[in-house]
Structure 1
Amino acid sequence: MPQPGMPSARGEDYLIRRLQDLERKVQELAAANVFGLTGIKPRDGGTEFDGYVTINGAAKITGTLDLPAGIIGNDALTNPVQIGTASNGLSNYAITTSSTVRASVTLTVPDGFSQAVVMANPTAMGLNSTGAADYLYVMAVVQNIGGGELYTAAPAALGVGLAAPFHTTLTGLTGGDPITVSVATRTNTNPWAASTANQANIYATAIFFR
């Protein structure tokens, strides 16, 4: 141990060098990213993460959550939704007095879904080719279930048109099941001859649920 009045073996400038070393280390720590390779970057007013984050436990978000489109699959959702659409039509046909399906579409139930809200929009136009007033009827048909006929008066030798929207809910479905949606038309009193003015169209949309 150095004696009072005797120089230290470490040198008289030891304390100065020691303080300089400590000062340098403090400066290095102040400039360094204390999170190192974790991918965490403090930002003014927030934090940026690069890489994956694992949360073991509950997480509470009190603000908005902005996510890129398409990153959450249906399997992660409690009640996912899928949509199917289709359309078809027929023209230049004879309209008889019996309600007859003129055009149909088929929507296929996606895998993992068991319910569907089916919206059908059948439209029809027809030329009354007879010499007497008559009526044109149109109806949607979903899985052989008629949506109820709507009709319009058709004066002799004139054309008319109308639509008959209908929607229904189907349950107990299985992936791959077909859902057939159709349009049916008829006249009331006499058949109408085939004409390019005679048209029947069906537009169908199904919203599928688990």
Structure 2
Amino acid sequence: MTRALVPPVWRALPRRALAAAAAVGLLLAGIPRMQSGPPDPLVSLYALRAAALVFALGLAFLLDDPARHITAAVPARRPVRVALRVALVAPWAALCWTAALLLVPEEARPPVGALTLEAAATAVLALAAAALVVRRTQATEPGAAISTWLLATGATAFLLLPPHWTLFVTPTDPRWQSTHTHWALLLTAAATTTALATTEPRHPHTPQPH
């Protein structure tokens, strides 16, 4: 049954949003190579962070499905349909992120593992928000609202979080390690939320007689 779902799920993917996010993200990641003179590690760091955010904005559209209320009636359960979408897009997302890292000159490239953790947490946070909206509302295309929320959340985290909880520091900052512990916690929480939000309700709500 899962194999039979692949073609329709593939056709239903928001390919325009994903392609646009990939193009803009890679353009941002290439900014350090466009500068004259030696590449600046700080510019490279924030270029990659901007690319990660844009990639996540594209993934915010992953669960958009204008035919949601029709496909909900198919035998395959919601976790299978969501997992299939993620499985189809994950290699593309990994390829885009790898290309973004390689676009940054090696001598100015920030620690790859730490930045990949940030990118993964941001992407899964977008998926978690989309999954929650799909579960709790009748929205068929939550991507635009989620992307707006993600931008606002990123700006808030950058500007308003207290120093001991900041998520955006440089590799030379003594808080670098502790900050990435926070990123790991955020990734774990977002992944758990996504998994819980994509499960089928055990007891569908039914109106109670008066």
| Shorter-chain TM-score tier | under 0.3
Structure with bigger helix share is 2
Give the TM-score normalised by the residue count of structure 2.
Answer: 0.24
Specify which structure has the higher proportion of strand.
1
TM-score (norm 1): 0.24
Q: Which structure's CA Rg is the greater one?
A: 1
